[in-house]
Structure 1
Amino acid sequence: MSAGKMHADEIDLDVDLVRGLLTDQFPHWADLPIRPFASSGTVNALFRLGDDLAVRLPRVEWGIEDVAKDHVWLPRLAPLLPVPIPTLLGQGTPGPDYPWPWSVYRWLEGENPLEDSLEDPRSLAADLAGFVAAFRAVDLPDGPPAYRGGPLSAMDAPARSAIKDLHGMIDTDAATAAWDEALRVPDWSGPPVWVHADLLPGNLLVDRGRLSAVIDFATTGVGDPACDLIVAWSVLPASVRDDFREALAADDAAWARGRGRALAIALIQLPYYQHTNPVMAANARHVIREVLADHARTGGQRSGTD
């Protein structure tokens, strides 16, 4: 894998390539300043275009289906959600030097929350609960299956493989025990609901401590509502976790599935990104610590298994 790349099949992207695509397809934007934007995103590269726009291009072939998904669903979801989400302004097509579809969006202001230094965690917990509740209430037919929106057992093999890879880096016995407990929780048996399914810090924007926007809807679809509880461990501190839970009326089984899903995602991400994406790896370590501490405090209580 080349230096600076996260995936073995990732292609090279730079300002000249972006300007060439704009010149050919959106010449009215081609003279605007273009600069790479550093982010923890793993599937797409982002470039600022002037002050108000962003160009977003898949880094890898397995990300190109998300472009069409955004074009279909983002305009339908936007009016139903309480904070801004990406607004599509231009739908790019493959060019001579770039093989896949790409997009131009309106730029959304804000900063990614820092999980260990939130300005107003209680208000952010309320904002996140409001967003999750609004998403669950979406009534749009024929929604796609949410990525990772099915039973936890679908994540079992990669989670256990990751635990082996993390030997010596984390408490693998505690991680195994927590994961085993999560798998004993009953699966969601109700109708699937709309979920974002990837509420990690890199997909959230905050302004003065409050949620100002949510981005990256590649994982969005219908599935287990516990998918969006992962933010309780990926962002929120233990001091406001119960506030978030109570606002969403999460029962024991849902809470345990959310915690298990947060753990599995972090376990899988850490060995993959530990050398190529320090922000993603740091959050994975944070989530593992928070989940294992939570598990140690509660044991089997309120887990949905007792």
Structure 2
Amino acid sequence: MHTDEVRVRLETARALVAESFPGLEHLPVPAEGTVHAVYRIGEDLTARFPLRRADPAAVLQHLYSEAAAAGELATCSPVPVPVPVGIGRPGHGYPLPWAVQTWVSGRTAAEDDPGWSPAFAADLAGLIRRLRSVDTRGRRFAGDGRGGHLPDHDAWMETCFRRSAGLLDVDPLRRMWATFRELPRADGDVMSHGDLVPGNVVTAGGRLTGLLDGGGFGPADPALDLVAAWHLLDDGPRAVLRDMLGCGVVEWERGRAWAFAQAMGLGWYYVESNQALSRLGLRTLERLSRAR
């Protein structure tokens, strides 16, 4: 899926788990992942191997930061989330550190679409309210991804527009971004999950039952988690979410802007390598365009 991808074969995963965690009795089996190769270990654990080549020391520091964020999320999430277990060493031809965490059972919203469900929208609103209520302890958004200053993403968006030519009608999308990037901040940073997309949300019977990928939990624009409104919800449930959160116009539009920036990247980037993610991006863009 990535030009700098590091391959992690099943036999390599098994050897690494046996070496770093000799007490684990179950052999890894593959699960799905996009920035990690994910291997489930028995019923309760999963190993996550970073897929993109990078400096091992930087990856190790990132894994420690992700573990701290995921541990903090586990203390406040209203639904089960993965809990960090440990960090494994490189070896057997795999050059990077990697992590083990607990497994959250169930089907993701990518497999079992809950977008029709007002109850699911209410669950999402409760989740976002709960995460926002966590004390930032003076922390501010300090990353280079989504959640800070919208115009900081101009260069990436230009790449997306250029690479999307032939896949999408780019001119109206450029005009949408020109409007989005001028939106002012509504409030200070709050704690946010940071990536509420279908593959990170576990559902059953049209309800929220779990949450994945908590390593990005941290302070960000209050509108960031509103990407869920566009990635996950149909029109009626989306209105439920907005009403329950009491979103003002600027905050709601900034949520649209963050969803737009993410969707523009998904559409072209994964068009060959992960068609489900590409379709997600295109569906979100269609929802955002229809809402104008």
What is the TM-score when the length of structure 1 is the normalising length? 0.87
Give 1:128's aligned residue. 124
Residues 229-268 of structure 1: per-residue CA shift (max 9 Å, x gap): 0110001011111110111111100101110111111112
- The reply to whether residue 194 of structure 1 matches residue 191 of structure 2 is yes
SS at match of 1:250: coil
2: CA distance, partners of 1:50 / 1:115? 21
SS of the equivalent of 1:236 reads coil
Q: Residue type matched to 2:243 in 1? A: E
Asked if structure 2 preserves the Cα contact closer than 8 Å seen for 1:195 and 1:228, the reply is yes
- Does structure 1 conserve the Cα–Cα contact (< 8 Å) formed by 2:114 and 2:207? no
Map Cα deviations across residues 114-137 of structure 1 (whole Å, 9 max, x no partner): 499427521111111111111111
- 1:302: which partner in 2? none
Q: Where do 5+ consecutive residues of structure 2 fail to align? A: none
- The answer to whether residue 26 in structure 2 is matched with residue 32 in structure 1 is yes
Structure 2 residue corresponding to 1:264, chosen from 258, 261, 264? 261
Provide structure 1 residue ranges, at least 5 long, that are not aligned to the other structure.
1-5, 296-306
**Partner Cα separation in structure 1 for residue 254 and residue 209 of structure 2:** 27
Deviation per CA, 1:3-24: give whole Å up to 9, x if none: xxx1111111022111111221
**1:176 maps to which residue?**
174
Aligned residue in 1 for 2:102: 106
Name the residue aligned to 1:85.
81
Task: State the alpha-carbon separation in 2 of the partners of residues 232 and 211 from structure 1.
Answer: 14
Q: Report SS of the residue matched to 2:137.
A: coil
Q: Cα gap change, 1:116/1:153 in structure 2, threshold over 3 Å: closer, same or farther?
A: farther
Gap change, CA 1:183 and 1:115, over 3 Å in 2 = farther
Q: Distance in 1 between matches of 2:112 and 2:253?
A: 23
The answer to whether structure 1 residue 14 and structure 2 residue 9 are counterparts is yes
Whether the 8 Å contact between 1:195 and 1:220 is mirrored in structure 2 is yes
- After superposition, what is the alpha-carbon deviation per residue over 1:26-67, rounded to whole angstroms, capped at 9, x for unaligned? 1121x4132111x2x321111111122211111113583442
Percent identity for Structure 1 against Structure 2: 32
2:218 aligned partner, one-letter code: G
Pair 1:230 & 2:224 matched: no
Residue 123 of structure 1 aligns to a residue whose secondary structure is helix
Q: Deviations over 1:166-208 (max 9, x none)?
A: 22322222212222221232134x3211111111111111122
Take 2:207 and 2:177, find their aligned partners in 1: how far apart are those partners? 32
TM-score by length of 2: 0.91
- Cα distance in 2, alignment partners of residues 221 and 23 from structure 1: 33
In structure 1, which of residues 214, 219, 241 is the aligned counterpart of residue 238 of structure 2? 241
SS of 1:57's partner is: strand
Aligned counterparts of 2:283 and 2:115: Cα–Cα separation in 1? 18
Is the CA contact (8 Å cut-off) linking 1:54 and 1:104 kept in structure 2? Answer: yes
TM-aligned CA distance change 1:117 to 1:217, over 3 Å: closer
Cα deviation for residue 140 of structure 1 reads 4.4
1:251 paired residue among 231, 248, 255: 248
Cα separation, 1, equivalents of 2:108 and 2:47: 18
199-208 vs 213-222, which moves further? 213-222
In structure 1, the residue matched to 2:67 is 71
Deviation of residue 75 (structure 1)? Answer: 2.0
CA RMSD of aligned residues (A): 2.0
Q: What does residue range 46-65 of structure 1 map to in structure 2 within 5 Å?
A: 46-62=38-54, 64=59, 65=61
Q: Indicate if the aligned counterparts of 1:66 and 1:218 stay in contact, CA closer than 8 A.
A: no
Paired residues in the alignment total: 286
